[in-house]
Amino acid sequence: MRKIFFMCILIFGIISANETSERIREQAPEVRAAVLKANGEKQVVLDSMKISAEIKDNISTTTYELTFYNPNNRILEGEFEFPLLNGQTVVGYALDINGKMRDGVVVEKEKARQTFEAIERQNIDPGILEKTKGNNYKTRIYPIPANGYRKIKITYEEILSGENDRVAYYLPLNYNNQVRDFSLEIKVPGQEIKPEFISKISGMDFDNSKTGYYTEINKKDFVPNQSIKFNIKSDKKEKVYTETKGKETYFLSSFSVNPGQKERKKSKKITLVWDTSNLGNNRNISEEMKFLDLYFKYLDNVDVTLVTFGNRVSKPESYKVSLGEWGKLKNKLEGLHYDGETRFQNLDFKKYKSDEIIFVTDGLLSYGKAWEETCGNCEFK
């Protein structure tokens, strides 16, 4: 039976390849602690740490509110390094300005640096958060007032993974210095089964509420060096997560499958169906190319039939991949022009005689019949 691979690149920061299963987490080394660097006679210290986390089905949102104290008699600029685990993505950053938290916006890295430096010269409070090597982030903070405080807020999201009927949440805490005020709140709304701690801070426990489970702890002069781990069990075989931000609504559906053990033969003939509609300008084409590069190297030798579509379906073009090399096909894809409507109804997958079909599209229909009517009995893997 032919198989169709439906590859969508969604513009939503939390959707990314990750290694967050409980088995990998247990084997992975502890993530290093966040640290603030500032050139002062005395060390700038973390005065308070407020952490809040909310887990809805298998989506977690974790927010850190960190307040720093500058014990020096002069204004300082600091650089704060904030490492995250694979699969965790920053979705929010805020800096206190005149006592109020002001949220940042996402811009290109070079533009962000130029804006920061221009604002800094005007003695205005700027802040910039950028991703560095790996899944590490850093932010420049200025000014940190003499004998005063400065607060930042960082929010990251993650798709939790696990096995069978459970997912695992992990919050690494390995700070060696004492924090004057520490608080941690975790909410699991809609949860009917009590989460099970693997490791926790002494005194923590989940309490039942009308909307699920929650736990909260507050400490004074506390050293937060005990990581938090717990499992969330569910009797739901399928989970649907929705969230509305502004005028946009996002959804994610997940369900458990039992793939079994079966060796899959390498395909000898592939049909590559490539969406060239105007919406393709919003796709992450480079990631799609990386996928094809890895897959063709795996297949080694394969015959590829390229079909492009938008308003119309192109005539099939034949390409040969030898020893994983696919330069001619890659050049063709890189030279494609994206324009026109997306018309799925013009596609007829049954006429493509190949071992499998790779269908590259954003999945958004801009004209014509709904996808269910178009695809018919397509099988997606």
> Is residue 182 predicted with pLDDT exceeding 80?
yes
How far is the C-alpha of 232 from the C-alpha of 240, rounded, in Å?
A: 16
Average pLDDT over residues 143-147: 92
User: Which CATH number is 69's domain given?
Assistant: 2.60.40
Tell me which of 191, 217, 233 is where a domain ends. Answer: 233
Kindly state whether residues 98 and 160 are assigned to the same domain: yes
Write down the pLDDT at residue 190: 87
> Is residue 171 predicted with pLDDT exceeding 90?
yes
Q: Kindly state the percentage of the chain with pLDDT values over 90.
A: 45
Kindly state whether residues 99 and 158 are assigned to the same domain: yes
Write down the pLDDT at residue 16: 30
67 Cβ contact list (under 8 Å, min separation 6): 46, 47, 48, 49, 149, 150, 151
Q: What is the pLDDT of residues 315-339, one digit of tens each?
A: 999 999 999 999 999 999 999 999 8
Tell me which of 233, 252, 271 is where a domain ends. Answer: 233
Kindly state whether residues 54 and 115 are assigned to the same domain: yes
Q: Which residue has the tokens 């490791």?
A: 199
Q: What is the pLDDT of residues 45-93, one digit of tens each?
A: 999 999 999 998 888 999 999 999 999 999 998 888 889 988 899 988 8
Contact 358, 270 (CB under 8 A): yes
Q: At 119, which helix (H) or strand (E)?
A: helix 109-120
Q: At 114, which helix (H) or strand (E)?
A: helix 109-120
Tell me which of 215, 233, 251 is where a domain ends. Answer: 233
Kindly state whether residues 226 and 278 are assigned to the same domain: no
First to last CA, the chain: 12
Contact 85, 20 (CB under 8 A): yes
Summarize the chain as % helix, strand, coil (round to 5). 15, 45, 40
> Is residue 233 predicted with pLDDT exceeding 80?
yes
Confidence of residue 13 (pLDDT cuts 50, 70, 90): very low
Kindly state whether residues 203 and 267 are assigned to the same domain: no
Write down the pLDDT at residue 380: 40
State both tokens at 218. Answer: 């507050």
Total number of domains constituting the chain: 2
Write down the pLDDT at residue 237: 60
Beta strands in 71-147 (DSSP E): 76-83, 88-97, 100-103, 127-131, 136-144
Kindly state whether residues 109 and 225 are assigned to the same domain: yes
pTM of the predicted model, to two decimals? 0.60
36, part of any domain = yes
204, part of any domain = yes
241, part of any domain = no
Confidence of residue 122 (pLDDT cuts 50, 70, 90): low
> Is residue 245 predicted with pLDDT exceeding 80?
no
How far is the C-alpha of 203 from the C-alpha of 217, rounded, in Å?
A: 8
244, part of any domain = no
Kindly state whether residues 7 and 45 are assigned to the same domain: no
> Is residue 159 predicted with pLDDT exceeding 50?
yes
Listed residue (289, 309, 295, 304) closest to 354, CA to CA: 304
> Is residue 373 predicted with pLDDT exceeding 90?
no
Kindly state whether residues 271 and 182 are assigned to the same domain: no
Q: What is the domain extent for residue 331? A: 3-13+260-375
User: What are the DSSP calls for 209-253, one per residue?
Assistant: ETTEEEEEEEEEEE-----EEEEEE-S-SEEEEEEEETTEEEEEE
Q: Nearest-5° angle of CA 24, CA 27, CA 33? A: 100
How remote is the C-alpha of 11 from its chain's centroid? 10
Average pLDDT over residues 235-243: 67
247, part of any domain = no
160 Cβ contact list (under 8 Å, min separation 6): 20, 55, 58, 59, 60, 167, 168, 169, 232
Kindly state whether residues 156 and 277 are assigned to the same domain: no
Write down the pLDDT at residue 285: 92
How far is the C-alpha of 179 from the C-alpha of 218, rounded, in Å?
A: 11
Confidence of residue 29 (pLDDT cuts 50, 70, 90): very low
Write down the pLDDT at residue 103: 85
Confidence of residue 11 (pLDDT cuts 50, 70, 90): very low
Write down the pLDDT at residue 23: 40
Write down the pLDDT at residue 45: 93
Q: What is the pLDDT of residues 197-232, one digit of tens each?
A: 999 999 999 999 888 999 999 999 999 999 999 999
The neighbour count for residue 216, using CB atoms within 10 Å, is 12
- β-sheet bridge partners, residue 93: 154
Kindly state whether residues 140 and 212 are assigned to the same domain: yes
> Is residue 112 predicted with pLDDT exceeding 70?
no
Pick 129 or 379 by higher pLDDT.
129
Kindly state whether residues 79 and 206 are assigned to the same domain: yes
21, part of any domain = no
Q: What is the pLDDT of residues 256-311, one digit of tens each?
A: 666 677 777 899 999 999 999 988 888 899 999 999 999 999 999 999 999 999 88
- Residue 52: helix, strand or coil by DSSP? strand
Listed residue (239, 208, 204, 207) closest to 224, CA to CA: 204
For 84-98, give one letter per residue: b (16+ CB within 10 A) or e: bbbbbbbbebbbbee
> Is residue 19 predicted with pLDDT exceeding 50?
no
Write down the pLDDT at residue 211: 86
State both tokens at 62. Answer: 């974790």
153, part of any domain = yes
206, part of any domain = yes
Kindly state whether residues 196 and 267 are assigned to the same domain: no
State both tokens at 188. Answer: 């699991």
